[in-house]
């Protein structure tokens, strides 16, 4: 349950800041930082990913790392965990120079990383995944002690208050549970430095609270936590210090009580922007683009009625697991339905996703990496892939024409890529999302269903994605937007439907669209 | 009751197919369900099991080994020619295992370090092994094996046929490796998420190369049974056996992606193919028809699993 998080965090913020900041001077601080980065540089062909980054990480602090897409946060994380070796710069532990040249070096030093991309093996159990590469030896030489792996995994999961079945194969778990396994994996390493990349992005409210509690306990035990987050509330709630990166350079390290969210955002983007730009009030809805009546399906949704008009952004919200994604998939023809009907632009629709695409409907899925993009293919290929029939009616591919379309889209959407031929997988999350949007724009889609469009995207790119969405509707498109971020729904949508346990609990007009009303409808009433 | 249904729902398609085939052949051929014939089926299946076990590992890494049948044949040819020239079965066996292991590690090295796709790599080594068989034998059979060779396929220990003992040991060892060692834990990880292994500080290339090495090693051991079976070596004796090995793995329910695999399923797959071939033999079906039937078997077994999966979701 993610929704009430903002409220809770804001309430607890004052007390927490009072107890944890500023960093206390103790015996550990006298010995110098646990890890000090000095002049770290890392260059990739055409990109200076890290440019002279220097800052200390102290034992017992939560160090927030903020920055836009491509600011260098991920690269920095990879240098810390030994996946990348810095071209220049040095690392010091209590004033002594150390080398981290491999993941093994990093682990031996005591650095554990929670990756945003899950590093889990689908057909191994939860317990096996937690201790992957660190299996306890069994009695017979060469064997592993499966019982000990299980009991230790159970212990670690207990620490975060999770009741995930340790014997379940990971592929049977949902995204949130996989995230917990990922966290448990890092915690189980008894790390001195724990690096987390947006660990809460898929967690429920309770799980998040458990994680935060865990982080505070680790901190008290002297563990340093480097925490990457795009959520301002978390940054201010948890952070002892905040380091801001921009374009691979270090902008500043600040204390949370000496800064404000807007100041932070400004430092991240280098110019003044609103976190979320609210759409103007001059909305002129046109013809009905999507009409759903009585939609019921085996995925747990029942009697869904909703509509979206051209020129409108309509929200679909509710708690995680309330059936939002299932509704989107059923509308798009990706899941079977048992009753009800879907109409696109006045035409009855009963086919599959390919038919929906032909009718001008685009589904922009939550997990863009697995469902929205061919990662190893180029930016250009990904942009034209859904419009090949339109671009090349004679079925003969013309590279020049495709390149022109791709180039135009890259320019229009301001996709930061050195070339249309660059593989999509090297782009940042926000730019990948733009490529998905570009793909459907090229295909001339008129109805866009966005599922968590800003998941894993930082604040500057979020504003850009919303600006793109506003642009779409102003040009006559219709948008159905699913989001767990209440502030996004409230600010971006013209009206919204709230789901609860597979049904539409209610509809909120623009006037009544606020966080309290959404929560009122979305939460279960006994 | 609901519990019972749920349990039934997890029984793989191959088990139903095996029971069905068994019933059909028992009804159609009086000689089928006799004890000597059933023992015969298991003995005949033992060579295939030696290939299908490592093939399961290989497929779990999202790989494939097309060369395994040709390497088995080459092992047999080497074993026979060394046995003839030295008169020592021990040296001959060591030579066969060595050539098998060498081919397996060559596959592994090319796939893991040079990054040549498994299909292409093993297609290449398939050609090399097959060609070497013809070069060594000059296209004819090598005969004149020491009489003691006979034991390994036809002999018994405490009344149990030796090939069965060897197969049982091989299964137990491979099962132990897959489910009770670090190495085995990394096999599904290679297919499921190689990046995760690297992050865990594991040398993923070495693990992958060893997986292919085991394939070659098992083919080398299988050469002993194969040569003993026909008391000679023939350059095309087990050519195409990779087809049955891959089919057995597929029939057993191992998927070709994401590291999903099931060793017991492979055992069932091997026995099912053994039952099918034996039953068709008793019905005097030519081997061409048998190949068609094995092909159909793969599709039928996976058809059941596919239908059920679609039904579940």
Q: Does one domain contain both A105 and A195?
A: yes
* Residue A477 CA neighbour count, 13 Å, CB half: 24
A333 falls within a domain: yes
For A299, name the nearest residue in chain B, comparing CA atoms only. Answer: B313
Q: Does one domain contain both A182 and A247?
A: no
| Exposure letters A284-311 (e unless 16+ CB within 10 A, then b) | ebeebbbbbeebbbebebbebebbbbbb
* Residue A153 CA neighbour count, 13 Å, CB half: 27
User: Which two structure tokens, joined as six digits, stand for B43?
Assistant: 């003995």
Residue A347, min C-alpha distance to chain B (Å):
28
B72 falls within a domain: yes
Could you tell me the CATH number of the domain that includes residue A3? Answer: 3.40.50.300
Contact A107 B201 (CB under 8 A): yes
- The series of mean pLDDT values per 10 residues for chain B, 313 residues long, is 42 82 91 90 94 96 95 96 92 96 97 94 96 92 88 90 95 95 93 86 92 97 94 88 92 84 91 92 88 87 74 62
Q: Does one domain contain both A101 and A19?
A: yes
Task: Using a CB–CB cutoff of 8 Å, tell me whether B133 touches chain A.
Answer: no
Q: Does one domain contain both A79 and A225?
A: yes
Would you list the DSSP string of A409-454? HHHHTT---S-TTSBGGGS-HHHHHHHHHHHHHHTT-SEEEEESTT
Domain of B202 in residue numbering reads as 44-239
Q: Does one domain contain both A81 and A150?
A: no
Task: Using a CB–CB cutoff of 8 Å, tell me whether B185 touches chain A.
Answer: yes
* Contact by Cβ (8 Å): B13, B301: yes
State phi, psi for A444 to the nearest 5 degrees.
60, 45
Q: Where are the beta strands (DSSP E) in A277-418?
A: 288-296, 304-309, 313-318, 339-344, 347-349, 361-364
Counting the structural domains of chain A, the total is 3
Integer CA distances (angstroms), B127 to A305, B70, B130, B268, B292, in order: 62, 8, 5, 30, 24
Q: Does one domain contain both A184 and A204?
A: no
* Chain A residues within 8 A of B185 when measuring between CB atoms: 124, 128, 132, 135, 144
Domain of A210 in residue numbering reads as 1-31+58-86+97-110+191-270
A17 falls within a domain: yes
For an interface test with B, the pick among A78, A83, A123, A128 (most B C-beta atoms closer than 10 Å) comes out as A123
A382 falls within a domain: no
The pLDDT, as a whole number, for residue A273 is: 45
Q: Does one domain contain both A72 and A195?
A: yes
* Chain A residues within 8 A of B201 when measuring between CB atoms: 102-104, 107, 133
A455 falls within a domain: no
Task: Using a CB–CB cutoff of 8 Å, tell me whether B196 touches chain A.
Answer: yes
Domain final residue, candidates A133, A167, A188: A188
A416 falls within a domain: no
Q: Does one domain contain both A101 and A197?
A: yes
In chain A, which stretches have pLDDT less than 50? 1-27, 272-273, 525-526
The pLDDT, as a whole number, for residue A408 is: 84
């Amino acid at each position: 349950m993610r929704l009430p998080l903002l409220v809770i965090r804001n309430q607890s913020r004052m007390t927490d800041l009072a107890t944890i900041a500023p960093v206390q001077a103790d015996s550990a601080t006298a010995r110098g930082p646990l890890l000090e980065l000095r002049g770290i540089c890392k260059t990739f062909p055409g990109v200076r990913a890290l440019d002279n980054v220097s800052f200390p990480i102290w034992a017992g602090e939560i160090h927030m790392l903020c920055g836009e897409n491509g600011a260098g946060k991920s690269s920095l994380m990879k240098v810390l965990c030994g996946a990348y070796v810095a071209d220049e710069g040095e690392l010091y532990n209590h004033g002594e120079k150390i080398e981290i040249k491999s993941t093994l070096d990093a682990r031996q030093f005591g650095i554990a990383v929670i990756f945003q991309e899950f590093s889990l093996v689908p057909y191994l159990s939860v317990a096996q995944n937690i201790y992957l590469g660190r299996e306890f030896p069994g009695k017979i030489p060469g064997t592993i002690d499966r019982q000990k792996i299980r009991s230790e995994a159970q212990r670690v999961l207990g620490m975060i208050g999770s009741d995930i079945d340790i014997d379940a194969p990971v592929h049977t778990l949902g995204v949130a549970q996989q995230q917990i396994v990922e966290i448990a994996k890092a915690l189980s390493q008894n790390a001195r430095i724990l690096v987390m990349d947006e660990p809460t992005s898929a967690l429920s409210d309770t799980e998040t609270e458990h994680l935060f509690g865990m982080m505070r306990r680790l901190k008290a035990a002297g563990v340093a936590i480097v925490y990457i987050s795009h959520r301002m509330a978390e940054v201010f709630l948890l952070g002892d210090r905040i380091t801001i990166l921009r374009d691979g350079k270090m902008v500043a390290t600040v204390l949370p009580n000496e800064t404000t969210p807007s100041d932070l955002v400004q430092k991240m983007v280098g110019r003044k922007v609103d976190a979320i730009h609210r759409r103007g009030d001059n909305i002129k809805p046109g013809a009905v683009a999507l009409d759903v009546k009585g939609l019921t399906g085996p995925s747990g949704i029942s009697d869904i009625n909703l509509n979206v008009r051209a020129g409108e952004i309509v929200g679909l919200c509710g708690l995680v697991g309330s059936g939002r994604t299932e509704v989107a998939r059923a509308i798009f023809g990706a899941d079977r339905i048992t009753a009800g009907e879907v109409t696109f632009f006045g035409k009855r629709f009963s086919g599959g996703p390919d038919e929906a695409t032909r009718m001008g409907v685009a589904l922009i899925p939550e997990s863009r990496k697995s469902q929205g993009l061919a990662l190893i293919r180029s930016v250009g290929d990904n942009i034209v892939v859904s419009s090949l029939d339109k671009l090349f009616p004679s079925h003969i591919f013309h590279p020049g024409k495709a390149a022109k379309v791709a180039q135009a889209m890259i320019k229009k959407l301001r996709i930061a890529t050195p070339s249309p031929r660059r593989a999509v997988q090297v782009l940042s999350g926000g730019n990948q999302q733009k490529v998905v949007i570009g793909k459907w724009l090229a295909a001339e889609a008129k109805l866009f269903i966005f599922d968590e469009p800003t998941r894993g995207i930082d604040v500057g790119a979020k504003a850009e994605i919303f600006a793109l969405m506003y642009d779409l509707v102003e040009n006559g498109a219709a948008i159905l937007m699913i989001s767990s971020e209440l502030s996004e729904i409230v600010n971006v949508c013209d009206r919204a439907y709230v789901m609860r346990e597979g049904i539409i609990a209610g509809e909120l007009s623009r006037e009544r669209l606020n966080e309290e009303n959404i929560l009122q409808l979305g939460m279960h009433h006994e | 009751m609901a519990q019972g249904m749920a349990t039934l729902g997890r029984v793989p398609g191959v088990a139903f197919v095996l029971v069905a085939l068994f019933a059909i052949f028992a009804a159609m051929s009086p000689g089928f369900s006799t004890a000597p014939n059933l023992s015969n089926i298991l003995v005949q299946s033992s060579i295939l099991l030696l290939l299908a076990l490592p093939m399961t590992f290989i497929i779990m890494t999202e790989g494939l080994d097309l060369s395994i049948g040709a390497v088995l044949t080459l092992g047999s040819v080497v074993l026979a020619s060394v046995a003839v020239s030295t008169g020592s079965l021990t040296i001959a066996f060591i030579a066969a295992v060595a050539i098998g292991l060498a081919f397996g590690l060559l596959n592994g090295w090319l796939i893991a370090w040079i990054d040549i796709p498994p299909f292409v790599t093993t297609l290449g080594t398939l050609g090399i092994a097959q060609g070497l068989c013809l070069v060594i034998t000059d296209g004819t059979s090598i005969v004149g094996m020491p009489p003691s060779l006979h034991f390994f396929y036809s002999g018994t220990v405490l009344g149990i046929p030796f090939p069965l003992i060897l197969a049982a040991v091989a299964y137990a060892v491979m099962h132990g490796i897959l489910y009770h060692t670090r190495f085995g834990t990394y096999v599904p990880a290679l297919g499921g998420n190689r990046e995760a292994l690297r992050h865990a500080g594991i040398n993923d290339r070495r693990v992958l190369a060893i997986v292919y090495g085991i394939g070659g090693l098992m083919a080398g051991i299988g050469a002993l049974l194969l040569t003993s079976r026909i008391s000679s070596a023939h350059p095309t004796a087990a050519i195409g056996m990779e087809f049955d090995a891959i089919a057995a793995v597929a029939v057993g329910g191992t998927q070709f992606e994401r590291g999903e695999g099931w060793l017991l399923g492979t055992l069932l797959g091997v026995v099912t193919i053994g039952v099918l071939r034996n039953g068709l033999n008793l019905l005097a079906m030519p081997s061409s028809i048998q190949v068609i039937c094995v092909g159909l078997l793969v599709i039928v077994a996976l058809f059941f699993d596919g239908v059920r999966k679609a039904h579940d979701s």
